[in-house]
């Protein structure tokens, strides 16, 4: 086991973003980006959901 780093290219109609040597969680289900990066490329933001402690 080791750390996995990659160059990531995120492209949309609005822009293309290159993130160099980012650390990858190989077991993750979702990719998480900062709001700033999402807005830069015009990516789709999935609404957040807060769970009620009684659920």
Q: Tens digits of per-residue pLDDT, 2-49?
A: 899 999 998 888 888 899 999 999 888 888 888 888 888 888 767 777
pLDDT, position 49: 72
pLDDT, position 30: 82
pLDDT, position 1: 66
pLDDT, position 47: 75
Nearest to 10 by CA among 38, 34, 49, 48: 38
Q: Give the span between the Cα atoms of 38 and 42, in whole angstroms.
A: 6
Q: Give the dihedral sign, CA 4/25/9/38.
A: negative
pLDDT, position 7: 95
**Domain chopping of the chain, boundaries:** 4-41
Q: Is the pLDDT of residue 55 over 70?
A: no
* Strands (E) located in the chain: 4-11, 16-24
SS3 state of residue 18: strand
């Amino acid at each position: 086991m080791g750390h996995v780093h990659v160059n990531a290219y995120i492209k949309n109609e609005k822009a293309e973003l290159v993130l160099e040597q980012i650390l990858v969680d190989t077991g993750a289900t979702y990719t998480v980006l900062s709001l700033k990066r999402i807005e830069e490329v015009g990516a789709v933001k999935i609404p957040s959901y807060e769970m009620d402690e009684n659920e």
